[in-house]
Amino acid sequence: MISPAARNVLQQMVVRAIHASPLVLADQARLIEVGPTLLRVQYEQAVLLTVSSYVFRLTLLIHFRDDSATRAHFAAVNRVPAAEMDAQAFNDAIRECGNICCGNLNRDLVHVFPHVGMSTPNIIDHRCVAYLGKLDADYVQHFEMGDSAGPPFALTLCVKAFAALDFAADFDAEEQTGELEMF
């Protein structure tokens, strides 16, 4: 069982991870719609990642299309000409985007769950998404960006709890960072 408070925190963590990832260009804000289904766009592929601990398995999918707008977006993120964003460069960029997004989520989860591990990103065909029910998730939420600030993306969060999950997180508290000391 996943409590409403834990679901709310997970949702906040995913939104934070999206905003800190290459899905959003630094100078643009994205409108993120949260809901139980994907509504706006048909996606061709997804980057699949998991974060696991002793008490849960979280599956994160980043849905995308391999089109000129999406390639141009990742070319801009990587500061390369769009013409250089061939299939291999694009796959590398979208996988790295998944790593960054999921890594941000993982970093937030570590504050609550000290033992978590993250998988490497895999690109799957969108037809595989039809089998998400096989994960027997206790919580599924979709996050969709279909505004004009960039190409459309969506994320799907599936969480399977192996024990009761009820936790809170304080995102307003500033993270302490180490200072560099010169000798």
In a domain, 168, yes or no: no
Per-residue b/e over 75-101, b at no fewer than 16 CB within 10 Å?
A: bebbeeeeeebeeeebbebbbbbbbbb
Give the contacts of 66 (CB within 8 A, at least 6 positions apart): 44, 45, 87, 90
- The percent of residues in the chain predicted with pLDDT above 70, rounded, is 92
What is the model's pLDDT at position 41? 62
pLDDT band at 14 (very low <50, low <70, confident <90, very high): very high
In a domain, 67, yes or no: yes
Tokens 């809901």 belong to residue: 35
Greater pLDDT, 181 or 12: 12
C-alpha 83/C-alpha 180 separation (Å) is 40
Total tally of structural domains belonging to the chain: 1
In a domain, 131, yes or no: yes
* Per-residue pLDDT tens digits for 29-71: 788 999 887 766 678 899 999 999 999 999 999 999 999 999 9
| Residues of the domain holding 141 | 4-26+39-161
In a domain, 70, yes or no: yes
CATH number at 44 reads 3.40.1550.10
Tokens 């934070």 belong to residue: 16
In a domain, 178, yes or no: no
In a domain, 32, yes or no: no
What are the distances in angstroms from CA 87 to CA 19, 55, 90, 91, 172?
A: 25, 38, 5, 6, 40
Work out the mean pLDDT of the chain and round it to a whole number.
89
* Per-residue pLDDT tens digits for 122-155: 999 989 988 988 999 999 999 999 888 889 999 9
* Burial (0-12, 13-18, 19+ Cβ within 10 Å), 47: buried
In a domain, 175, yes or no: no
